Amino acid sequence: MKTTGFYLELFENALRGESFISDPLKLYEPIQYTLSLGGKRLRPVLCLLGCDLYGGSCEKAMPAAIAVEIFHNFTLVHDDIMDNSPIRRGQPTVFKKWNTNIAILSGDVMFAKAYEYVARLDTPDLKPILNVFTDTAIKVCEGQQYDMDYEVFSNVGIDDYLNMIILKTAVLTGASLKIGALMAGASTEQSDLLYTFGLNLGIVFQLQDDLLDVFSDETKFGKKTGSDILAGKKTYLFLKSIELMPPGEREEFYVYYTSSENNADEKIAYVKSVYEQLNIRHHVIQLMHIYHNESLKILEKCTGTPEVIIQLKELAETMLVREI
Amino acid sequence: MKTTGFYLELFENALRGESFISDPLKLYEPIQYTLSLGGKRLRPVLCLLGCDLYGGSCEKAMPAAIAVEIFHNFTLVHDDIMDNSPIRRGQPTVFKKWNTNIAILSGDVMFAKAYEYVARLDTPDLKPILNVFTDTAIKVCEGQQYDMDYEVFSNVGIDDYLNMIILKTAVLTGASLKIGALMAGASTEQSDLLYTFGLNLGIVFQLQDDLLDVFSDETKFGKKTGSDILAGKKTYLFLKSIELMPPGEREEFYVYYTSSENNADEKIAYVKSVYEQLNIRHHVIQLMHIYHNESLKILEKCTGTPEVIIQLKELAETMLVREI
C-alpha cells in the first residue's frame, strides 16, 4: 500500500527535474534556494493524494502540485519580509540572505511561475482549477493582512483568529486537495467535500504550528520558538488564556503581552509560565480534536479509493502530533 | 470615427463599475486608491483597440483590459517600494501613504485580482491568453531585476538597456494588444504581428519616458524630474552620452553619474547640462523614430479594420510627442 512518503518522493523527484535558474540570477537564485530548503511539502502531497483518491494520474496532477508548492513558498518569502523573520527551515530567509527588494521581486516572479504551472495542466476544463487557485491566492493575502491587523487591534476574538487562520493557512490545504480531485475528474460535490476536509486539516495544522511556536524543540522546528509571543500575535493560546484567567488579571496580561518593551527572553519565559499554569496546551489540543473529528466525519462521505482514504486519515492523525 | 478617447471612456466607465473595496480594508483600500489615481490607461486602451481591430466585442475584452491595468498598477506599487519613489501621478505612493508591508501585500492581491479578471474572460480557449499574460508577468519581473542590477553593474551597454526596457515595459504593451486580438479570434499570425507592433510602441514610449524624466515640466509629468539621474540609472540618455563624449572624459563622467555622494540639485543640473551640450535629446528622438518606423512597417501587414489601424497609427504618433 502507498504511504504519504510515496507521494512525497514522487513530488521531490518531479521538483528536482525542474530548474528555476535563469537570467537575471538575482531574480531566480532565491527561487531555487527557497524551493531547495525542503519543508514538509504538505500541499503538493495533498494535491497528489486528492488526485489519486479519485483514480487520476499523479503525473498529470504534478504541475498543480508544483504550482501549490511554489505559491506557498512565494507567500513565505513575502511574509518573512513583513514579519521580519530572519530564519526559515534553519536557514536565512530570502530578504536576509539577499535583501528586501530581491525578496519582493523573486516572490512576485514565483507567483507568476505558479500560474505558469497551473496553465500547463493537461485538462479539458482549466477554468474551475484556475478559479480555485486565484480565489485561494486572494484569501491567503486577506489572511496575512488580518494577521498583521490583529497584532495592533485590541478587540480580537477567538472567532476572528480562527477566521484568520482559515484564510491564511487552511484554504490552501483545502485548495490543494480540491485541485488534485478536479484533475482526476471528480464531481463538484466530491471535490468540494475534499476542500472542506482540507480546511479542517489546515486548521489543525495551524493550531499545532502555534503550539510548536511556543513549546517545540528549536533544533527540530528549524526556527526560534517564542516568535509569536515576541510579536504579540493574538494566537488561540493567547486568546484562550485571556478567557481562562480571572477577569481581574486580564488587562495586565494583555498589556504585557502586546507591549514590545519587554526583554525578549524574559517575556517568552513569563508568557510560557502563564500558558503552563493555565494548561493551555490541553485547551489547544482539545480544539484540534474538534476540527480533527470534523475532518474525519467529512471523509466518511468521500466516495474515493478506500486505500487513499486511509492515507488521508493517517495524514490527519499526524497533524495532531507532528513536531516540525 | 472612433478615437482613442472613445476606448479610454469605455474603459473608465467599466472600471468605475468595479469595486475593489472589501475587508480587510488595509489590503483593499490601496488598490482602489492606486486605480483611482488615473494614469494614461495606455495598456487597457491597447487591449480594446486590439480587439476592435479584428472585429471583436470590446465588452467581451473588457475583463482583459481591466486585468492588464491592474497588473500594471501592481508592478508600480512594488516598483515604487524598490525604487523608493515617494510620488506617483502627483500623489503619495502606496508604501509612503501606508507602509511597505501594506504595499507588498496589496500588490500581491492586485496580481491575483488581475488573474481573476483573466479567468472571467468569455472565450472558447483561455489557454493562449493565460500563457501570454503569465509569460509577460515573468518578463516584467525580469526587466525590473535588470533595471536594479544595472544601477550597480559597471559594464551596461546600449543593447542591455534596450533589452531591459523591452522586458520591463514593451512586453506589456505588446501583450495588451495581443490579448485583445485573441479575444476577437484573430489568427496567431495576426496577433503575433500586433504583439511586435506593441513591442516597438512600448520601446518608443519608454524612451520618451526617459526623456521626460530629465526634461519634462514637473507639474504636467506628475512626479519630480531628474529621478533617473539621481538614482544613477543607466538610461539611453546616459549610455549614449558616454558614447558621444571624448574617450578621455568618459570615466570622470561615469564616476560622477553613478556616485550617490553628490548634492541632488547640483547633480541634476550638471548632468542635464552635459546632455544639452551633447544634444542628447536629438539622439533619443532619432532612436525613437527608428522604432516608430519599424512599428508602422509592421502595421502594413495588419489585416484588421482600416479605421482602427488609423487609430493605432495615431496612437503611435502621440508616443513621439507626449508630455505626460
Pick from A100, A119, A141: which is nearest to B112 by CB? A141
B61 SS3 class: helix
Residue B2 pLDDT grade (very low, low, confident, very high; cuts 50, 70, 90): confident
pLDDT at site A260: 85
Would an 8 Å CB–CB cutoff place B85 in contact with chain A?
no
Q: What is the pLDDT of residues B8-43, one digit of tens each?
A: 999 999 999 999 999 999 999 999 999 999 899 999
Would an 8 Å CB–CB cutoff place B37 in contact with chain A?
no
Distance from CA of A198 to the nearest CA of B (A): 22
DSSP character at residue B305: -
A109: nearest CA partner in chain B: B138
Pick from A27, A104, A112: which is nearest to B81 by CB? A104
DSSP character at residue B122: -
B88 SS3 class: strand
Residue A261 pLDDT grade (very low, low, confident, very high; cuts 50, 70, 90): confident
B91 SS3 class: strand
pLDDT at site B146: 97
Q: What is the pLDDT of residues A104-154, one digit of tens each?
A: 999 999 999 999 999 999 999 999 999 999 999 999 999 999 999 999 898
- Chain position carrying cell 495576426: B190
C-alpha pair distances (Å), A219 with each of A49, A52, A224, A240, B158: 30, 34, 9, 27, 51
Task: Name the residue among A205, A199, A197 with its Cα closest to residue A139.
Answer: A199
Would an 8 Å CB–CB cutoff place B148 in contact with chain A?
yes
Contacts of A102 in chain B (CB under 8 A): 145
Identify the H or E element spanning B284: helix B280-299
Would an 8 Å CB–CB cutoff place B78 in contact with chain A?
yes
Pick from B102, B131, B138: which is nearest to A109 by CB? B138
Full residue range of the structural domain in which residue A191 is found: 4-321
Question: Peptide bond preceding B44: is omega within 30 degrees of 0, i.e. cis?
Answer: no
Task: Name the residue among A47, A55, A32, A56 with its Cα closest to residue A315.
Answer: A47
Pick from A26, A82, A131: which is nearest to B105 by CB? A82
Pick from B82, B100, B115: which is nearest to A115 by CB? B115
A136: nearest CA partner in chain B: B112
Residue B324 pLDDT grade (very low, low, confident, very high; cuts 50, 70, 90): confident
Summary mean pLDDT of chain A:
96
Residue B225 pLDDT grade (very low, low, confident, very high; cuts 50, 70, 90): confident
Cell numbers for B253: 563622467
Inter-chain touch B141–A105, beta carbons under 8 Å: yes
Inter-chain touch A109–B81, beta carbons under 8 Å: no
How many other CB atoms are found less than 10 A from the CB of residue A153?
A: 12
Q: What is the pLDDT of residues A208-247, one digit of tens each?
A: 999 999 998 777 766 778 989 998 999 999 999 999 999 9
- Chain position carrying cell 486602451: B45
Pick from A27, A108, A113: which is nearest to B78 by CB? A108
CA atoms of A54 and A186, how far apart (whole Å) = 6
B74: nearest CA partner in chain A: A108
DSSP character at residue B224: -
In percent, the amount of chain B with pLDDT more than 90 equals 91
How many other CB atoms are found less than 10 A from the CB of residue B95?
A: 23
Residue B194 pLDDT grade (very low, low, confident, very high; cuts 50, 70, 90): very high
Pick from A23, A127, A137: which is nearest to B112 by CB? A137
Distance from CA of A26 to the nearest CA of B (A): 7
Inter-chain touch B142–A24, beta carbons under 8 Å: yes
Would an 8 Å CB–CB cutoff place A128 in contact with chain B?
no
pLDDT at site B166: 98
Preferred mutation among B138, B167, B168, B179 to probe A, highest tally of A CBs within 10 A: B138
pLDDT at site A217: 79
Residue B260 pLDDT grade (very low, low, confident, very high; cuts 50, 70, 90): confident
Task: Name the residue among A186, A223, A168, A197 with its Cα closest to residue A46.
Answer: A197
Residue B213 pLDDT grade (very low, low, confident, very high; cuts 50, 70, 90): very high
Task: Name the residue among A33, A54, A35 with its Cα closest to residue A43.
Answer: A35
Inter-chain touch B137–A112, beta carbons under 8 Å: yes
A91 phi, psi to nearest 5 deg: -125, 160
In percent, the amount of chain A with pLDDT more than 90 equals 91
- Chain position carrying cell 553593474: B153
Look up the CATH number of the domain holding residue A161.
1.10.600.10
Summary mean pLDDT of chain B:
96
Residue A82 pLDDT grade (very low, low, confident, very high; cuts 50, 70, 90): very high
More confident residue, A10 or A324: A10
Question: Peptide bond preceding A24: is omega within 30 degrees of 0, i.e. cis?
Answer: yes
Indicate the number of domains in chain B.
Answer: 1
Q: What is the pLDDT of residues B295-314, one digit of tens each?
A: 999 999 999 999 999 999 99
Residue B148 pLDDT grade (very low, low, confident, very high; cuts 50, 70, 90): very high
Pick from B24, B78, B137: which is nearest to A142 by CB? B24
Cell numbers for B144: 525590473
Inter-chain touch B149–A105, beta carbons under 8 Å: no
Q: What is the pLDDT of residues B171-190, one digit of tens each?
A: 999 999 999 999 999 999 99
Distance from CA of B245 to the nearest CA of A (A): 30
Directed axis angle between helix B280-299 and helix B264-277, to 10°? Answer: 70
pLDDT at site B200: 98
Contacts of A129 in chain B (CB under 8 A): none
3-state secondary structure chain A: CCCHHHHHHHHHHHHHCCCCCCCCHHHHHHHHHHHHCCCCCHHHHHHHHHHHHCCCCHHHHHHHHHHHHHHHHHHHHHHHHHCCCCEECCEECHHHHCCHHHHHHHHHHHHHHHHHHHHHCCCCCCHHHHHHHHHHHHHHHHHHHHHHHHHHCCCCCHHHHHHHHHHHHHHHHHHHHHHHHHHCCCCHHHHHHHHHHHHHHHHHHHHHHHHHHHHCCHHHHCCCCCHHHHHCCCCHHHHHHHHHCCHHHHHHHHHHHHCCCCCHHHHHHHHHHHHHHCCHHHHHHHHHHHHHHHHHHHHHCCCCCHHHHHHHHHHHHHHHHCCC
Pick from A23, A115, A138: which is nearest to B113 by CB? A138
Cell numbers for A292: 480533527
Contacts of B111 in chain A (CB under 8 A): 108, 111-112
Inter-chain touch A145–B78, beta carbons under 8 Å: no
Q: Are A131 and A139 in contact (CB under 8 A)?
A: no
CA atoms within 13 A on the CB side of A246: 3
CA atoms of B130 and B128, how far apart (whole Å) = 5
Inter-chain touch A104–B82, beta carbons under 8 Å: yes
Contacts of A145 in chain B (CB under 8 A): 24, 26-27, 102, 105
Cα-Cα end-to-end distance for chain A? 25
Would an 8 Å CB–CB cutoff place A163 in contact with chain B?
no
Average pLDDT value for residue range A259-271 = 92
Q: What is the pLDDT of residues A301-311, one digit of tens each?
A: 999 999 999 99
More confident residue, B262 or B55: B55
CA atoms of B253 and B248, how far apart (whole Å) = 10
pLDDT at site A5: 94
Task: Name the residue among A254, A126, A201 with its Cα closest to residue B121.
Answer: A126
B128: nearest CA partner in chain A: A119
DSSP character at residue B56: -
B138: nearest CA partner in chain A: A109
Q: What is the pLDDT of residues A160-206, one digit of tens each?
A: 999 999 999 999 999 999 999 999 999 999 999 999 999 999 999 99
